[in-house]
Structure 1
C-alpha cells in the first residue's frame, strides 16, 4: 500500500510532468510557453492561470501545428474573463465576446452608418457634438481626428452657447488620445483627470492637463487646431452613453466624471474599461492583454461598465434630436 508521503510525492511529480511532457510539435510548445509567460507577467486577470495553463498544455500537446493551437485561445480568454484582449495570429483574431451585454437595435444600425463627427446647435443655446469610434490603433491619425473634433466645436460654438451635449453612444472605441486631445478644454485645466492602475492598484500612468497641454503618461500631445471661441470653465455638460460606448469611448466618458456641472445620461456602457497592450509571441502572432484598470479624477477604479447618473434605455433618434429620449433628458438637466 502506498504511504501518504509517497502518494504526495507521486502527485507532485505528476503535476510537474504535466508541463514537461513531450509535445508532438516543438513549435507548439514554444508558442504555448511564450503565451503563458506573457499572461503571467502582464495580465490583470491571473486568478485562474494555473488551471488555464494545465488545460492549454493538455489540449495542445498532441497538435501538429500552431495553426491548430490558435483556436484554443478563445477558451483561454474566456477563462481569463478578458474579452478586451485576444490572440492575433496570421491576420485572424481569437478572443471571447462578453455574453452579458445589452443590445440596442437602432444604435447598432447607426454604428454601421455613422462614420464621422457630427455637430449641431439645439434650441439656439446648446451645442451638440457626436463623436464616433475610430480605428487609429497605429497612432497615425491623432492630429486629423483631434482637429476634426475641434473644427466641429468651432462651427457651432459662440457666446450664445450655454451648455453642451457630448454624445458617445456610437463610440465603440479605438484610440482615446485624439478624442481627449480634441475635448481637452471641456475636461478642465491644471488637473489630473484620470489614469491607469495595475492589478495591485499601483499607478501605471496618469492623464493630466497642465497649462492647457494634454499629457498622457507624461507624454505631451499637441494639437494643431485651436478653438476660435473659448469654452467657459464649468460650462454645463451632459455626456450621452449607450451599451455600445466601449474602450476609448468609455475612457472619454470617465475623463469627465467628477467635473462640476456634468451628468452622464443613457445606458450602462459596454464594460471595456481596461487598458490593453500587445505583446509579440513570434513573427506571425501577438497577444493583446488587459494590463491595467482605469481610474477617474477622484481615483475611483473602474473594473466594469460605467453606470450613468440618469439611466435612459432606448428611445434613440439621431435623425430628429428633439425626439430622442436621452437628449430630452439632457436638455432638462441643462435647464432647457
Structure 2
C-alpha cells in the first residue's frame, strides 16, 4: 500500500432529500447506482492503468452484476470482480462491514511460511523496540492500518515510534539497528516513515512514476516532517539530530507488503543499509484513499513506487537471502537477526 496516506474527505450528500416536505428514502438500486457511478469516476480519473481499460464495456457489465443483489453491502462484493477485470491487484474497497480486494494477488501457500512466523502472526504482535545483545536496537513494525484516523492521531502514532527509538538510543550505546518488516502486511507508511525519521534523516524517501514510468512526484523527510509532493502527510517533534548513517539492517519476508515494502524502499539507497531475508509480497504500486458514498472508501493505485533510483521493482529482493529461518520466540537464534548483527559489526 503506498501509505494509505492523507485521507481526502469529500462530503457526499446523497442519503436523503426533501420532496414536498417529505423525507425520501433512497432505494437499494439507487444506492448501488450512485455508489458505482462515483467509484467509476474516481477510477477513470486516477487509476494507474486507466488507459488500458475499456470502460464503456466494463461499467455496464459491473453495474448489471451489482444490481442483481438485494442489499447494498452485498453489491460491494462485485468490486472484487471489477478489480480482477481491470488488473487491479492492489485496489481495495472498505465499508463499515468489510474489505473487498482483488483475487489476483499472489497466494501465500503453507509451504512458503515458517512455523515461527505463523505463531507470531497469530498472536497479533504490536509495534516494539528493544535491545538485543546489549548493543543492537531491534524495531518490530507490523502492519498499521489507521483507516479513519485524524491528522492528530496519525502524528501521535508516528511520534510513538520516534520516541521509542530515541528512548532506547539514549539509554544504550547502539552499534546499529534492525528493522523487522516480516509481519508488515501494509497500512499507513506515512506514519511508519515519519516515526523512523531518526534513522533516515533529511532525505528523499520514494519517487512515484506515472504509467509511462516518468517521475511524477516524490516523498521525503525533513525536520521530522514526512511529505509527498510538498504536502505534509505526517510529522514528529524531533528532540535530537538524526543518526542517518548508523548501520541499519531491514528484514523482509513473504508477508511484507504494500506499506511494509515502502518502508524498505525508503531505506534502499541509504548509506550503511542492507535488506536481509525473503523476497517481499509484491504490492509496490502507490495508493491513495478516496472517500465514496455511504461510508465507503477506496484505495486506488495512482503510480509506481520506487526508491531514490526511480527504477520500479514489483517486489523487494533482499541483498542477503535467508529462507524460512525465523525465530521470533528467541531472536538471538533467528538467522536473519544473526546476519543483521554481522552486517552491523562489519560496519
For the aligned pair, the TM-score class normalised by the smaller chain equals 0.7 to 0.9
Secondary structure at 1:334 match in 2: helix
- List per-residue Cα deviations over 1:132-181 (Å, max 9, x = no partner): 22222234432332222223223332573222111111222221122111
> Residue 329 of structure 1: CA displacement?
1.5
What is the aligned counterpart of 2:147 among 133, 137, 162? 137
CA-atom RMSD, angstroms?
2.9
| Matched residue, 2:38 | 34
Deviations 1:260-297 (A, max 9, x none): 11110011112222222333443354433212221211
**Pair 1:170-2:186 in alignment:** no
Q: Counterpart in 2 of 1:21?
A: none
When the two structures are superposed, what TM-score results if normalisation uses the length of structure 2? Answer: 0.77
Correspondent of 2:272 among 261, 274, 278: 261
Q: In structure 1, what is the Cα distance between the partners aligned to 2:128 and 2:65?
A: 49
Counterpart for residue 100 of structure 1: 107
Aligned partners of 1:150, 1:65: CA distance in 2, in Å? 45
Higher relative contact order (CA 8 A, sep 6+): 2
Cα distance in 2 for residues equivalent to 1:261 and 1:193 = 15
CA 1:211/1:142 → structure 2, altered by over 3 Å: closer, same or farther?
closer
User: Is the contact between residue 126 and residue 161 of structure 1 (CA under 8 Å) also seen in structure 2?
Assistant: yes
Q: Please give the alpha-carbon distance, in whole angstroms, between the structure 2 residues aligned to 1:56 and 1:88.
A: 18
Which of the numbers 71, 95, 99 marks the counterpart of 2:77? Answer: 71
Matched, 1:43 2:54: no
Q: 1:305-320 counterparts in 2 under 5 A?
A: 305-320=315-330
- 8 A contact 2:194–2:221 mirrored in 1: no
Contact 2:132 2:138 in 1 (8 A): yes
Are the equivalent residues in 2 in contact too, given 1:143–1:224 (CA < 8 A)? no
1:1-336 matches, cutoff 5 A:
28-46=32-50, 47-50=52-55, 52-53=58-59, 55-57=61-63, 59-60=65-66, 66-67=72-73, 69-89=75-95, 91-97=97-103, 98-101=105-108, 103-104=112-113, 105-140=115-150, 141-157=153-169, 160-189=173-202, 191-210=203-222, 213-220=225-232, 221-224=234-237, 226-227=239-240, 231-302=242-313, 304-335=314-345
Work out whether residues 31 and 66 of structure 1, in 8 Å CA contact, stay in contact via their aligned partners in 2. Answer: no
Change (3 A) 1:148 1:37: closer
Q: Distance in 1 between matches of 2:194 and 2:98?
A: 31
Aligned mates of 2:298, 2:224 — CA distance in 1: 36
Q: Work out whether residues 252 and 275 of structure 2, in 8 Å CA contact, stay in contact via their aligned partners in 1.
A: yes
Give the gaps of 5 or more residues in structure 2: 1-28
Q: SS of 1:283's equivalent?
A: coil
SS at match of 2:255: coil
- Structure 1's unaligned 5+ residue stretches are 1-24
SS in 1 for 2:137: strand
The structure with more radius of gyration:
1
> Which string of whole-angstrom CA distances, capped at 9 and with x for unpartnered residues, describes residues 4-55 of structure 1?
xxxxxxxxxxxxxxxxxxxxx5665554443333222111133344453364
Provide the TM-score with structure 1 as the length reference.
0.79
* Separation of aligned partners in 1, 2:91 and 2:337: 33
